[in-house]
């Protein structure tokens, strides 16, 4: 009897999950409301979330849970950028959720390919890490196809512009960017990478889509 009730509850919860519009989203936000306030964002990140400037990240397809974390960090001054920080000052928690759900549900239109001359180095690092310098495989957290993990707050990287990714890795290495959680995972990864490895893995990630 108790088991039956548990099963019924699980089935009910599942049917609810699959029936809502944003089935993948862990964030309680509104696509329509996000869309309505996304106009200014589109000026830099592209109206469809696919950026046209290689230093500005694509937002299309990024996990809403991760975008909420990062937008809140910008608003609270824990992540800083001369262009981005001012954009979030007046956003409420609900605005942040709505915007994050909006961009999560836009399709990525990235078709860039990885630089063939550094592909092997990039792939080796992404999939296997570097045992000599003690760098963990990026794939372990960001997934074999770069899709990340929304529950663990591991961002999707697939198709992200190589120049933006390289800037983030350099920012982590120098401490300009810090992790929001208590563990400085990305700083510890990035400071062990050579300039050549940063270039190669960023290009490899751009081609993952």
Q: Which is nearer to ligand HEC, 169 or 173 (CB)?
A: 169
Exposure pattern of 137-161 as b/e (b: 16+ CB <10 Å)? ebbebbbeebbbebeebbbbbbbbb
Q: Residue 150 CB, nearest distance to ligand HEC (Å)?
A: 12
Q: Which is nearer to ligand HEC, 14 or 140 (CB)?
A: 140
Say how far residue 203 (Cα) sits from the centre of its chain: 16
The set of residues, in sequence order, having a beta carbon less than 8 Å from that of 67 and lying 6+ positions away, is 59, 96, 99, 100, 103, 104
Q: Which is nearer to ligand HEC, 17 or 203 (CB)?
A: 203
Q: Residue 116 CB, nearest distance to ligand HEC (Å)?
A: 19
Q: Which is nearer to ligand HEC, 15 or 99 (CB)?
A: 99
Q: What angle do CA 72, 78, 84 make, to 5 degrees?
A: 65
Token pair of 165 as six digits = 């990714």
| Cα-Cα-Cα-Cα dihedral sign, residues 32, 36, 39, 40 | negative
Q: Residue 179 CB, nearest distance to ligand HEC (Å)?
A: 3
Q: Which is nearer to ligand HEC, 110 or 201 (CB)?
A: 201
Q: Residue 147 CB, nearest distance to ligand HEC (Å)?
A: 13
Residues that bind ligand HEC (CB under 6 A): 40-41, 43-45, 56-57, 59, 62, 67, 70-71, 81, 83-84, 87, 99, 125, 135-136, 138, 140-142, 153-155, 157, 165, 167-169, 179-180, 185-186, 189, 201
């Amino acid at each position: 009897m108790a088991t039956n009730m548990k099963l019924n509850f699980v089935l009910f919860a599942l049917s609810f999950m699959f029936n809502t519009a944003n089935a993948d989203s862990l964030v309680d936000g509104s696509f329509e409301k996000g869309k309505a306030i996304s106009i200014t964002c589109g000026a830099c990140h592209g109206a469809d979330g696919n950026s046209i400037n290689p230093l500005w990240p694509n937002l299309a397809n990024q996990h809403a849970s991760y975008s909420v974390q990062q937008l809140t960090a910008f608003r609270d001054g824990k992540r800083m950028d001369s262009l981005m920080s001012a954009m979030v000052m007046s956003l409420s928690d609900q605005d942040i959720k709505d915007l994050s759900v909006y961009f999560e549900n836009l399709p990525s239109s990235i078709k860039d390919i990885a630089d063939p001359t550094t592909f092997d180095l990039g792939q080796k690092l992404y999939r296997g890490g570097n045992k000599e310098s003690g760098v963990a495989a990026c794939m372990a957290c960001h997934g074999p196809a770069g899709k990340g993990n929304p529950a663990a707050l591991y961002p999707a990287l697939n198709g992200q512009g190589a120049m933006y990714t390289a800037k983030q890795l350099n920012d982590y290495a120098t401490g300009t960017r810090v992790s929001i959680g208590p563990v400085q995972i990305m700083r510890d990864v990035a400071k062990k990478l050579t300039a050549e490895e940063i270039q190669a893995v960023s290009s490899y990630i751009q081609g993952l889509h």
